[in-house]
Structure 1
Amino acid sequence: MKKTILIASALLLGTFSFAQKKELKSVEKALKSGKAAEARTTLDGIQGMIDGADDKYKAQYYFLKGKTMNNLGSYKEAVSSLKEAIAFEESKGMNKYTGEARTILNEVAGNLVNSAIEDNKSKKYGEAAEKLYMAYEVDTNNQDYLYYAASSAVNGSDYEKALEYYLKLKDLGYTGVVTEYYATDAATGEKAKFNSETERDLMVKAKSHVKPENIDSESRLPEIVKNIALIYSQQGKVEEAIAAAKEARESNPDDMGLLLTEANLYIKLDKKDKFKELMTEAVQKDPNNPDLHYNIGVISMQQGNMEEARATFQKVLSLKPSYTNAALNLSTTYVDEGNALIEEMNKLGNSRADNAKYDTLKKKKDSLFRKGADVLEDLVANGQGNNDILNQLKGIYGALGDNENFMRVKKMIQE
């Protein structure tokens, strides 16, 4: 009786394997005919039998399911099944489907990226982020996928997910820097970019282009750290944000973007002295950058260091004469000092001494206002007289009681 049971079980197992083999063949046939939905139906029908199947059928099942799901656009299931096929074969020392499964995974990654691009166009940022992250999981060597997943998460206001991705990028040491290949067109003198070094070198060899150059693209690390800092800051974790920026700067001490990111965080903490310190460091690295000098000027102005602010704004204008905001602020330093004198004048009485002091203060005030006007007149003379410049200039002449210049500037604004 015991022997009979064993024979019956063996027969049942044989029938089981035969049925699976037949169904899996029908799945392969359906896929070849482009009938992915039919293939899926068949796979669903034998899903419950797989745990007890022979190893060779298990590997085939996972592989075919991944292939089917890819054809149906169910990329998450496709990735899961194909990875399961690869992992299963590795655990069993098998290699029948692994090669093709990896090829399909690369295809899936491409499909995920293309689908994510369309999602981004449709402002489905959350879905785009998920697909791009999935593409990264398929191909972890392509860290660009993770970077774009983080960007999509930011666009979708999913800052928790974006922070997770950005922190991972930072830990990976990702910069996104690539070498780009350029050469100058011999006929036009214009710089042209090429898809590869080989393509560029062929054009140089053909003498249609000259002066080959290899130029590294800008690092994305400052942007990543900046976004980490901004998200931390939004969460009220400014200290963590500063720590992230400092850590990044330790490994990239010459990166101006990281320095400026850290400096801007101190502004959020209203630590103007620390901001100014870092701006001064930035100026030492890039002394001819008018924006850096301008920032120092603004902070000096806010701190009441008018002489330092004026010297800094004058430096900005020497580097970039058309820098209208620097001119406006330089003019404002004189106007503000003059206004402070007006307040002092208004507190005086009618005694002879007070009247004498009033006249002295008025002369000084008018002199300051004239200096403020002269700064702006220089811009107007150079064709930089925008509405902000002209309105401030008109206000100064009004305060001076200079009706002739007041009307002249007023007419310029009207024109």
Structure 2
Amino acid sequence: MKKLILGMAIVASALVFGQKEDVNAKLQVANKAAMDAYSAKNYTVAGPKFLEVYNLLKTNGQDDKTYMYYGGLSYALANNNEEAIKIYKELINSGYTGVQTTYTAKDNKTGQVNPYDKSTWELLKKSSPKEFSDFKTEQSPNVEPDLYETLSTLLLNTKKHDEAIAIIEKGLAKYPNNAKLKELQGTALYASGNTDKFMQNLKEQLAKNPNDATNWYNLGVLQSKNPATTNDAIASFQKALELGSADPKLSNNAYQNLVYTAIGDDAKAVEEINALRKTKPDDATKLIEARKERFNKALPYAEKWYQANPTSLDAVSTLKDIYNITKNPTKAAEMKAKEAELSAKAK
């Protein structure tokens, strides 16, 4: 992006050609102030200065929204989300894409390469081949996908989830293969509480890219909320670990979720057991055995969690409790000592 910004100084001189002297002077001052502020990462100053350039040009008949775009970008980088959102919305609604063609030619007398408007460039090329050479055109890239991505992110950052979903859907209608918008769509759907659509979104993304560890992890989290898809959740977490083992945070979270998914809602299970102990002891015994089975299933995940993160108090405490319930007092005592050690260090 900075490369594009620096290139704007040349374009500006071409745009102001032919304007009144006082307008030219104001434009050059505002443009330089905007460029300098952006280069110095003083985005709070750069934003309004780029808009000043845009408004000066517009007042004089040149509606070049490139400067509005850089103003919006600067506001976003300055964390002025509300101003950035307004600008990005206007740019999208106007159909701005950023695609522009720059026309340049070399003055053979001076050796300097200068920009020209299309008509002048074509005239020089046709009538002055001896005075000018190296006639070139360069097209700037399409920034419309970036507009949708940035606006969606800004809306999510300001908790405007429904607006974000609408913008993302609009963007995906134009750019259906945009991976960033697909990712943001999942985030927006989850944040808005629409978990069914979020799960569908994750599955669609995984169908296109089955090696995305984060999406496998997120799918596992959703599946773990439903007891009927516990096994699916475990498979998803295992896939996330297989693909994302190099990410310590993902590994820690995936092992932790594997343990809790395998155990299920233990508080509810204990409550049901206690309610049946006196009136239906046989049923209570069945529930106790089923609970032990779940903890035995969770044990290897808990051990791997501890191996992956031996300084995690949560991992140690959970493993201690599982050893107690699965009747392994030696290991339980070992984890109890480790728990005390980590707790003392944490104080």
Q: TM-score range by the shorter chain?
A: 0.5 to 0.7
In the TM superposition, 1:174-323 aligns within 5 A as 174=98, 220-221=146-147, 223-230=149-156, 233-234=159-160, 238-304=161-227, 305-321=229-245, 323=251
Closer, same or farther in 2 for the Cα pair 1:103/1:152, shift >3 Å? closer
Match of 2:295 among 353, 359, 369: 369
Match of 1:328 among 246, 253, 256: 256
* Structure 1 residue 324, shift from structure 2 partner: 1.6
Q: Rg: which structure is higher? A: 1
Closer, same or farther in 2 for the Cα pair 1:140/1:412, shift >3 Å? farther
Closer, same or farther in 2 for the Cα pair 1:290/1:104, shift >3 Å? same
* Structure 1 residue 345, shift from structure 2 partner: 0.9
Match of 2:321 in 1: 395
Match of 2:89 among 147, 154, 167: 167
* Structure 1 residue 141, shift from structure 2 partner: 6.5
State the one-letter code of the partner of 1:409.
M
Contact kept, 8 Å, 1:232 with 1:240, in 2: the verdict is no
- Aligned-pair identity in percent equals 22
Which sits farther off after the overlay, 280-289 or 109-118?
109-118
Contact kept, 8 Å, 2:65 with 2:96, in 1: the verdict is no
Distance in 1 of aligned mates of 2:79 and 2:50: 16
Distance in 2 of aligned mates of 1:394 and 1:257: 42
Distance in 2 of aligned mates of 1:397 and 1:146: 62
* Structure 1 residue 411, shift from structure 2 partner: 3.5
SS in 1 for 2:264: helix
1:28-54 per-residue CA deviation (whole Å, 9 max, x = no partner) reads: xxxxxxxxxxxxxxxxxxxxxxxxxxx
Distance in 1 of aligned mates of 2:86 and 2:310: 48
* Structure 1 residue 249, shift from structure 2 partner: 0.7
State the one-letter code of the partner of 2:222.
I
Distance in 2 of aligned mates of 1:134 and 1:300: 51
Gaps of 5+ in 1: 1-78, 89-96, 176-215
SS in 2 for 1:172: coil
Match of 1:149 in 2: 71
Match of 1:355 in 2: 281
Distance in 1 of aligned mates of 2:37 and 2:192: 41
State the one-letter code of the partner of 2:241.
L
State the one-letter code of the partner of 2:276.
L
Contact kept, 8 Å, 1:394 with 1:410, in 2: the verdict is yes
State the one-letter code of the partner of 1:397.
Y
Higher relative contact order (CA 8 A, sep 6+): 2
**If the length of structure 2 is used for normalisation, what is the TM-score?**
0.65
Closer, same or farther in 2 for the Cα pair 1:364/1:232, shift >3 Å? closer
State the one-letter code of the partner of 2:271.
E
Distance in 1 of aligned mates of 2:98 and 2:252: 38
1:1-47 per-residue CA deviation (whole Å, 9 max, x = no partner) reads: xxxxxxxxxxxxxxxxxxxxxxxxxxxxxxxxxxxxxxxxxxxxxxx
Distance in 2 of aligned mates of 1:393 and 1:360: 24
Contact kept, 8 Å, 2:202 with 2:219, in 1: the verdict is yes
**If the length of structure 1 is used for normalisation, what is the TM-score?**
0.56
Contact kept, 8 Å, 1:222 with 1:261, in 2: the verdict is no
Contact kept, 8 Å, 2:255 with 2:302, in 1: the verdict is yes
Match of 2:104 in 1: none
Distance in 2 of aligned mates of 1:399 and 1:146: 64
Which sits farther off after the overlay, 162-171 or 310-319?
162-171
Match of 1:133 in 2: 51
Closer, same or farther in 2 for the Cα pair 1:279/1:221, shift >3 Å? farther
State the one-letter code of the partner of 1:230.
L
State the one-letter code of the partner of 1:240.
E
Match of 1:407 in 2: 333
* Structure 1 residue 148, shift from structure 2 partner: 4.8
Q: CA RMSD in A?
A: 3.7
Closer, same or farther in 2 for the Cα pair 1:384/1:159, shift >3 Å? closer
Closer, same or farther in 2 for the Cα pair 1:156/1:317, shift >3 Å? closer
Contact kept, 8 Å, 2:237 with 2:254, in 1: the verdict is yes
Match of 1:385 in 2: 310
1:222-267 per-residue CA deviation (whole Å, 9 max, x = no partner) reads: 5313235337744xxx443322111111111111110121222222
Runs of 4+ in 1 over 6 A off after TM superposition: 139-142
Closer, same or farther in 2 for the Cα pair 1:157/1:364, shift >3 Å? same
Match of 1:113 among 24, 35, 57: 35
1:328-355 per-residue CA deviation (whole Å, 9 max, x = no partner) reads: 111101222444432221111436xx33
1:164-184 per-residue CA deviation (whole Å, 9 max, x = no partner) reads: 221244331359xxxxxxxxx
1:249-295 per-residue CA deviation (whole Å, 9 max, x = no partner) reads: 11111111101212222223211101111111111121110100111
